Amino acid sequence: MKSFLKKIKIKSEPGTKFKEQDQLLRQVNSLFNVLADIYGSDKIVLRAGKMNVLQMMRSEYLPERVLALQKLVFEDPTLDTIPEPDKLPELLDLIEDEIADIIARRTVEDELDKKINERMQQRHEDYVQEIKMQIVKENAGSENAQTLKKLAILEKLEQKNLVSSAMDVLRPASIKEIVGQERPVRALLSKLASPFPQHILLYGPPGVGKTTAARLALEAARATTHSPFEQEAPFIEVNGTTLRWDPREVTNPLLGSVHDPIYQGARRDLADTGTPEPKPGLVTDAHGGVLFIDEVGEMDPILQNKLLKVLEDKRVFFESSYYDPTETNIPQYIKKLFESGAPADFILIGATTRDPEEINPAIRSRCAEIFFDPLTPQDIREIVLQAAQKLDVSMENGVESVIAEYTIEGRKAVSILADAFALACQRSCGRQGASIALSDIYEVIQVSRLTPYVTRRASLNGEVGRIFGLGVAGFLGSALEIEAVVFPARRESGGVIRFNETAGSMARDSVFNAASVLRRLTGRDLHEFDVHVNVVGGGRIDGPSAGVAICLALYSALENRTIPQNIAVTGELSIQGLIRAVGGVPEKIYGAKQCGIDTVFVPQENENDIPGDTRGIKVIPVQNVEEIIGHIFPAAPNVN
């Protein structure tokens, strides 16, 4: 540039004017040098070429050179007017101010560039350091001395195993081992191992094998060729009493819930991006298999209604105010769960000890209903013998019969046997040579404070004014001992009829119905007698089914004729002597069997309710009280 500037000197004239021009020339040359320092010599030449001012920069005429300088500084190619010599000082001042602004801007830009470079360098160093730490962490793993020590303790604990519990060993391993439930199990298999399986509700008392039957029925269904269940079909078991959920859907282990990133705390990587995380529930775990809900009647009613929606849709849908369908930074599985829902195509099997009337009607309408029978003493004895065989232990004669006296639950019977087996092992100092004695059973009974389940027993004798009625509570039938005595009235104004208050008002009405029927049959008015009717044990009678039994007890007392004590009756008595239908006939027949009764009279209207297998009990349907008297009393002469 200096060589270039040397070529553009101007001839000057002597005198004052020469001094002024020389000063301006020096000023112009200085400004060109400053521009060369700012932009560089090469860039100045390139810029001058673009502005077409190279000739003007070499001009001997100072105003032309100032015009060239003006174009270069202001970068304005439209400037084409050569300034007047008088205007040069003023114009050069403007050019100097612009150059000063350029220098100031360049200084600020240089400072900013310097800070930016420093910041970028710092960021780069931090990033490199983070990568180094990540690599070190990956190489070292997430373990340290403390975590490795805890892992070693856990692995050591895993190596210590007790033998399986007695209940695990004694649980039925196949359908054939379920005792006393042939009809319910057959019905369960037919509904589950079908090409079109049905949702099922299992009713019955506790400890009769409902859960075990459901689990084994699925295993049997998997083995059939026409069943839709695959070999890996899951069996998800849950208890309805333990299912807890939040109405705000914060948590719902049955149907699933959404973990919002703020309140519930989704997975860390999702929480950092504000993404909600759906958590599928047990209904999705049971997809393609069976969801077994024990004590389904104990579930929250609202949760039952939500379950009904899942049964209809066969999917579970999730909602969250944090979910944005337009957000691109969301995992595909979360998008699918929110947009399509989680699959929940399963078969529901619910078990309950409640009466059908207490179950949600909408659930009942979608399910086939199967009733499991209470276990008889013979069933309990068979269960005990089967359990003893699995334990490979001998028993003293009568052990199974004693256990059958104290429980009607298969689970409890097995538990008593297991406790007695433990006593036998302790007595023989080991399993070898252990034999369960009656004394072991009685010790378990005394320690557990057990009482005989059946306190009333039938007999072949006949008694006056005493008969067995039949009642039912839940799914268990029982025998009610009803007795009556009749005396001539002590007062001339008439006799008194007494009845224990605990039996209930409906049973008291049955006494007055019986009085009308007896007056028609015998011509005697109970108003002429002091009558006392009693339900032994103070049992409460909720329905009118004891009407016939009360009438027969009073008839026996009035006529002084014995009633066989191996029979039982049930039925509502009308004032015309007709025997009306009652409920719970299968359960009542079972209760009679428990007491050793061999003949049961039921209303003719309940004939279709009589089970196909009455387990050795003779069931006689009757239409009116005269018919039942004809069955009972011909062989029972007066006892005068």
Same domain (yes/no): 267, 393: no
- Decide if 114 is inside a domain: no
Going by pLDDT thresholds of 50, 70 and 90, the confidence category of residue 99 is: confident
Q: What's the CATH number where 415 sits?
A: 1.10.8.60
How many angstroms from the chain centroid is the CA of residue 515? 56
Q: What is the pLDDT of residue 249?
A: 64
What is the DSSP code (8-state) at residue 550? H
* pLDDT, tens digit, 9 for 90 and up, residues 195-254: 899 999 999 888 888 999 999 999 999 888 888 899 899 999 999 888 887 776 667 888
Same domain (yes/no): 266, 398: no
Q: Which domain holds residue 420?
A: 380-447
Same domain (yes/no): 386, 360: no
More confident residue, 252 or 349: 349
20-29, 364-373, 461-470: least confidently modelled range: 20-29
130/229 Cα distance (integer angstroms): 52
For residue 622 the two structure tokens come to 């009757």
521/325 Cα distance (integer angstroms): 83
- Decide if 358 is inside a domain: yes
Same domain (yes/no): 384, 276: no
* pLDDT, tens digit, 9 for 90 and up, residues 360-382: 899 999 999 999 988 888 889 99
For residue 410 the two structure tokens come to 């298969």
Q: Point out the domain boundary residue: 424, 447, 470.
A: 447
**Single pTM value for the model:** 0.68
Same domain (yes/no): 218, 349: yes
Same domain (yes/no): 607, 541: yes
pLDDT at 96 over 60: yes
* β-sheet bridge partners, residue 470: 479
Q: Point out the domain boundary residue: 391, 418, 447.
A: 447
Average pLDDT for residues 112-119, to the nearest whole number?
86
pLDDT at 11 over 50: no
Same domain (yes/no): 303, 194: yes
Q: What is the pLDDT of residue 4?
A: 41
Average pLDDT over the chain reads 82
The structural domain count of the chain equals 4
* pLDDT, tens digit, 9 for 90 and up, residues 316-326: 998 887 788 88
Q: What's the CATH number where 211 sits?
A: 3.40.50.300
Active site (catalytic) residues = 545, 588
Q: What is the pLDDT of residue 438?
A: 92
* pLDDT, tens digit, 9 for 90 and up, residues 133-143: 777 666 655 56
Alpha helix (H) ranges present in 7-163?
16-39, 41-51, 54-58, 62-74, 88-140, 145-158
Q: What is the pLDDT of residue 270?
A: 65
Q: Point out the domain boundary residue: 313, 337, 371.
A: 371
Return the residue matching tokens 């299968």: 586
Going by pLDDT thresholds of 50, 70 and 90, the confidence category of residue 639 is: very low
* pLDDT, tens digit, 9 for 90 and up, residues 550-606: 899 999 988 889 999 989 999 888 888 899 998 888 888 888 888 888 899 999 999
For residue 362 the two structure tokens come to 């909408």
Q: What is the pLDDT of residue 352?
A: 92
Q: What's the CATH number where 475 sits?
A: 3.30.230.10
End-to-end CA separation in angstroms for the chain: 156
